[in-house]
Amino acid sequence: MRITTTAFLLFLNYLGLTQNVDLGLSVGGSNYSGDLTENAASSIKQTHPCIGFHGRIELDPVVSLKLQYMFLKVSGDDKYAERPGNKLRQLSFQSDIHELNFICQMQILNLWSERVRRLNPYIQFGASVFKFNPEALYHGDWIELQPLGTEGQGIQNFGDKYKLTQFALDLGFGLRYFINSKYSLTIDALARHTTTDYLDDASTNYVSYDLLLISRGKTAAELGNKIQAATGTKRANPGDKDWFQSLVFTISYHFGNKYQFRSPRLGKYQILCPRF
């Protein structure tokens, strides 16, 4: 969290030296796609509130760069499964996510327009670093799953425990509306393809109940292998990394030169650069 705050303050300091910048506050919903969600409907059912803030610099009428912090929550539960095998598995989790992402946005209509439009769609792409920590409900308490090694992590010949800090590639789109030259409203959708398959603590195969009980304790055995499957039985699909996504509404304050919703013509090879 200290690194996130420092990076954001440094970015804000940089923003203060530029002309066309904005700061914004976002609220909305977030969910996850992975081994514990079979389809989009299952993901949507398990949507949670999220919040974030950003600083953005407009390099020219088309391209903007944004640094954003988001606090999100995701979850998955086999009770929503339709496939008999997944429903029998009875896995579930929830996790808070602290995310810092760096995004490039491209205002599509400004590629052809001579005027900065009040209503303008954009596409966006970038990368993020995030921290997560999956938990499961056990006898009324939320238990952290990573320390338990529910797929044998930490047991000899089963590999190491997964890292709780990971990276993601981001892709999305949005629509921004200028109320006036100082304030704008945005609806923003962003999907993250992560570098981990353990956002939900499920990736590979079962470890037998007895081995987990001996090596990791009763809690690990009951949360990791509720159906007492044999070691090596498929528990999840390691071929697909997990995703999480958000849909947020943002209000932004713009400072610097006053917007007149105009811009110089973008020539065929012309790039408009910010002045410092």
pLDDT band at 241 (very low <50, low <70, confident <90, very high): very high
Residue type, 133: N
**Residue 144: other Cβ atoms inside 10 A:** 13
- Read off the pTM: 0.86
* Residue 115, domain member (yes or no): yes
Q: How many domains does the chain contain in total? A: 1
* Residue 265, domain member (yes or no): no
The CATH number covering residue 242 comes to 2.40.160.20
Between 227 and 264, whose confidence is greater?
227
* Residue 260, domain member (yes or no): no
| pLDDT score of 11 more than 70 | no
* Residue 182, domain member (yes or no): yes
| pLDDT score of 222 more than 80 | yes
Q: What is the distance between the alpha carbons of residues 126 and 264, in angstroms, rounded to a whole number?
A: 27
* Residue 275, domain member (yes or no): no
pLDDT in tens, 169-220: 999 999 999 998 899 999 999 999 999 999 999 999 999 999 999 999 999 9
Half-sphere exposure at residue 228, Cβ-oriented, CA atoms within 13 angstroms:
3
Task: Give me the domain span that covers residue 55.
Answer: 2-255
Q: What is the distance between the alpha carbons of residues 29 and 5, in angstroms, rounded to a whole number?
A: 23
3-state helix, strand, coil in the chain (%, to 5): 20, 45, 40
Q: What is the distance between the alpha carbons of residues 236 and 202, in angstroms, rounded to a whole number?
A: 6
Between 106 and 118, whose confidence is greater?
106
The mean pLDDT of the chain is 88
* Residue 276, domain member (yes or no): no
- Rounded to the nearest angstrom, the gap between the alpha carbon of residue 8 and the centroid of all alpha carbons in its chain is 17
Q: What is the mean pLDDT of residues 5-15?
A: 56
pLDDT band at 114 (very low <50, low <70, confident <90, very high): low
Residue type, 259: Y
* Residue 51, domain member (yes or no): yes
* Residue 37, domain member (yes or no): yes
